[in-house]
Structure formats: structure tokens, C-alpha cells
Amino acid sequence: MAGSKPTAVHFSLVFFVMLTLIFMLLFYLGVQEQTATAAKLKVKEDEAASARTTIDNNLNDINALKTLLGYEGLEQVGAGGNDENSVVATAKKDLVTYGRDQVQPSPTSPVVVKTVQSMATALKATQEQSQQRNTSVQDVSARLQAEKTAMTNLIEQLRTTQETSEQQLQKLVTDQTEKIAEKDREIQKTRQELAAERVAREQISDELNRVRRSLSDEIALLEKAIETLRIDLNALENLSFDKPDGAIVRVDNVTRRVWINIGSKDYLRPQVTFSVYTQNNRGVGRGSEDIKAKVEVTKITNRNLAECRIIQEDFDRPIQAGDPVYSPLFEPGATEFFSFMGILDMDGDGKSDRELLHDIITNAGADVEIEIDDQGNRSPEGRKMSVKTKFLVVGDIPDPSKIPGTDERQEEIQKMFDEKIALERAALRQGIRIITFRDFLNYIGYENKERLFVAGGDRKYNLKAGSRSTGTDEVLGANRLSSGQTSQRFRSDRGNRGAATSTGQTSKKFGN
């Protein structure tokens, strides 16, 4: 019984057998897996060999295609289109460069076969044209040969004819030489007669020039006399054919506003100024004596009415309804033209205010035909004054003879003076009125708005000085002495006096 029990040897043997079986099983599994892996590897190697063969064939095809296209030196095929040095990019560039208008289907996407076919078609057409031209050249060569033959015959005929002509020419030259000698004798005789006639004509011309100079001197004297008479006549009569532009229809002395019967239908604009005349005036535009006030348009009320502010007024002759208003610049529906020369000083500072003057003229609807600036230059250059000029307005022009020779402005003043003489002469010949710039400003109703007195300045003080005048014909401010009279308001007996009543009469000196 004791011998049948398992011992350590038994356990070791069992363990060894089981371990052997496990190893054999693992070995068998490893062999199976290795066999499968080897089979897969063999398949992959076969596929790789086949792919390598395909790649080699493709590379050979690509190289053959490169050789065919002539791009053996280019490594990249350029299928992606990003490499400019690839076969594809270079081929496209060459197709566009050499194919030009034969690139097909378009220069942006050229195709070799279609481009080559298009080029072949064009080449065939060119060859046909060349064949036709060769045929034409052969025809022309044949005609040229015929022309050469005909020309050779013609030259031979001309040579024969030339010999005959030379003989005839020699005879003709001899005959003509004799005729020329006869004509020379006749010409010499005619020249002598012509010289005598020229002397006679020069004598007649000298006499005619003498008579012409005499008549020109007489005409100049007569023109000068006429100009002098016109100047004297204008000074005596001071004629003006202008009419008032409108009239005062209402006066508000509290707000110093007036209303005139001119409005939008007359194309009136704000800021246009007018001079106000007395109702019994001798005619507008004939001087400043009848001007009692100046007004400026502030508002166009309606078609026939405009509101104005009083910018200057003679308080001895207050504005009344019915007083005529006038400005030479304003003409409803028309443009008045003026010519200016001299220093056009509007504010008393001794300098021209041309920009302000132009603004006033333009706003009133008028225009300037000719203007002589302070340097004596005419604007526009070369323009002559025409009859459409209403007034020739003359500003201050210094006398050139009183300007020192060292004065830089002597030449400019002389130019201004020469232009003054020329324009005044033209104005007198064409019947154009000549007025001073100061009168022009009064006519248009302009009033300098600056009243500030600056001590030590060159500007004249424009406030009236002196006591009140004692008569209607006395210049206001001329007498600086007091009359000794005081206002009735300060009399001691003013409380005992009744209210003063008006007699209803006004001074006959000033009329209305």
C-alpha cells in the first residue's frame, strides 16, 4: 500500500509532461503564425515588386514624354501646378508663348494636342497662302520679263528719237538766242521807261503824303476841339438819360427802414444799394446835390416790394414816400457794363478796394468791361472799350510829372496816365459819360461803414465838426463858432410857454 502512493517523482514527472505539452503547443502556434506571416510577407513583396515595376514603367513613360516634349532637364512633372519650373508649367508657358492666338482651348488652360492641331491648321492655311503667293510671284516675274523686253525696245526708240531731238534742239537754241537778244533790247528800253515812271510816281506820292499829313493835322485839331467842346458841354449840362429804378413807398423812422417798389420780378437781390433823390431833382445820375440818402436792400418782400435799411441820410432833407431811388448798376433783366481806371479807394485808406467793388457790381447784376489796375495794366489785355460801357469811372491818378525820378512807381503811374488819356478819348468819341469814382459811389448808394477815428492816422476824419448852420445855404460844420443860442428845453420860462405847433411849411431851399 505504501508503494502505490504518489511521490515527488510522480509530481515532477507530471509537471514535466504538462510543461512539455505547453511548449509544444506554443511552438506549434508560433510555427503557424510564422507561416501565415511569411505568406503575407510574400504577397506584400510580390505587390511591392509589381508596384516597383509599374513605377519604373511610369518613370520610363514620363522620361520618354519629357524627351518627346524636350524637357529632359526638368525634374518635377508639376501635376500640382505649384512649381513654375515643372514640366507642366513650362509646357503651358511655351504653348502660350509660341502658340500665341492658336492656343486651345484658352491661354489659361492650354492643351497640347488641341494647340498643335490648331497650329497645324493655321500652318496649312499659311502654306496654302504661300503657295498662292508663289504662283502670284511667278506671274509677276513673267510680266516683269515682258516689261523689261518692252522697256529695252522703248529705250532703243528713245535713243533714236533723242539724237533727232538734239539736232532739232541745237537749231532751236540758235533761234532762241537771237530772239532773247532782241527781247533783252526791248527789256532794257522798258526798264528805262519804268525808271522814269517810278520817279514821277515818287514825286506824286511825296505830294500825296504832304497833303495827307496836312489833312491829318487838321483832323487831329478838329478832333481835339470836338473833345474839348464835349468836355465843356458835359461840365455845363451834365446830361443824364438814366431814369429812377423805383421809389420809396413807405418810411419807418423808428427802425430806420424804408420800402421800395422793386422786388423779385425785377431780379433784385439783398445787399444792393440805392441812392435816394429829392422828388424835384434835376435828373438822376447828374451829380450828388439831389441825393438825400442811401439805402441798402435787406429783404425781398414780394414781386413788387423790398425792405431796405437807411445807411446814410441828410437829416435836413428826410426821406419821404415818393422819393425816387437810383443805382446805375441795377437794370432789371439786363446787364450794365462799366470801365474803371485809377486808384479805386472806397474806405479812405489810399489803397484800391477792387475786390469789394467787384463783389458789389456782381451782386447788383452788372459787369466790368475794361479795368486798369494800379500798375497800369489793362484787363482783359488788349480789349477796347465799346459803346456798351455805361460809365467810364475814373479814380485817383497821380500826376506823373510830380513823381520823383527815383520813385519805383513812376513807370506804373505813367502807364496809368497813358491809359487814362486813351480811354477818355475813346469815351468822348463814343459818347460814353466820364464820371469820378466818388460820384459813382454816391450814385450806387455806397456808404463806407467804418466810422472809427484813429489818432495819428492818415485817414481823414469823416464826422462833421463845428456848430449848427445858421442858414439853409450854409455848409454844415463850416463855422466852428457857437451861435450863442441854447435849446428851448433849457429855457427858464419853458413851463409858461404853450406847446409849439408846426406851421406846416418847409424850407423852399430843399423842396421835398
- Residue 80 pLDDT: 62
Give all strands of the β-sheet with 367-372 in edge-to-edge order.
Answer: 378-379, 367-372, 337-341, 389-394, 433-436
The most confident of the ranges 249-263, 408-422, 468-482 is 249-263
Range with lowest mean pLDDT among 21-35, 370-384, 408-422, 480-494: 480-494
Q: State the average pLDDT over residues 426-433.
A: 88
- Residue 492 pLDDT: 43
- Residue 477 pLDDT: 44
Between residues 308 and 497, the one the model is more confident about: 308
- Residue 234 pLDDT: 59
- Residue 115 pLDDT: 76
> Which class is 243-327 in CATH?
mainly beta
The pLDDT of residue 507 is above 60: no
DSSP string, 167-223: HHHHHHHHHHHHHHHHHHHHHHHHHHHHHHHHHHHHHHHHHHHHHHHHHHHHHHHHH
Q: What is the pLDDT of residues 84-141, one digit of tens each?
A: 777 777 777 777 777 777 776 777 777 777 778 888 888 888 888 888 888 889 889 8
- Residue 296 pLDDT: 95
- Residue 46 pLDDT: 84
- Residue 466 pLDDT: 45
The pLDDT of residue 199 is above 70: yes
The pLDDT of residue 57 is above 70: yes
Cell of 264: 423779385
Confidence of residue 493 (pLDDT cuts 50, 70, 90): very low
- Residue 338 pLDDT: 95
Q: State the average pLDDT over residues 18-37.
A: 86
Which spans in 348-409 are helix H? 354-363
Q: Are strands 324-326 and 246-252 parallel, antiparallel or unpaired?
A: antiparallel
- Residue 241 pLDDT: 65
Q: Identify any residues that bridge with 294 across adjacent strands, giving them in sequence order.
A: 275, 312
The maximal CA–CA distance of the chain, rounded, in angstroms, is 196
Give the number of other CB atoms < 10 A from CB of residue 407.
Answer: 13
- Residue 377 pLDDT: 92
Range with lowest mean pLDDT among 128-137, 163-172, 431-440, 476-485: 476-485
DSSP label at residue 498? P
d(CA 252, CA 160): 117
C-alpha distances (whole Å) from 8 to each of 4, 35, 147, 268 are: 13, 40, 140, 145
Q: What is the pLDDT of residues 266-291, one digit of tens each?
A: 999 999 999 999 998 888 887 788 89
d(CA 229, CA 245): 31
- For 329-451, CATH gives 3.40.50.10190
C-alpha distances (whole Å) from 256 to each of 249, 253, 506 are: 14, 5, 22
Q: What is the pLDDT of residues 436-477, one digit of tens each?
A: 999 999 999 998 875 444 455 554 444 444 444 444 444 444
367, burial (CB in 10 Å: exposed 0-12, middle 13-18, buried 19+)? middle
- Residue 294 pLDDT: 94
Cell of 125: 492655311
Q: What is the pLDDT of residues 298-341, one digit of tens each?
A: 999 999 999 999 999 998 999 999 999 999 999 988 899 999 99
Q: Identify any residues that bridge with 257 across adjacent strands, giving them in sequence order.
A: 252, 309
- Residue 464 pLDDT: 45
The pLDDT of residue 509 is above 80: no
- Residue 98 pLDDT: 75
Confidence of residue 393 (pLDDT cuts 50, 70, 90): very high
- Residue 277 pLDDT: 95
- Residue 476 pLDDT: 47
Q: What is the overall mean pLDDT for the chain?
A: 80
CA angle 393, 388, 240 (to 5 degrees): 60
- Residue 4 pLDDT: 64
Residue boundaries of the structural domains of the chain: 7-59, 243-327, 329-451
Q: State the average pLDDT over residues 74-81.
A: 67
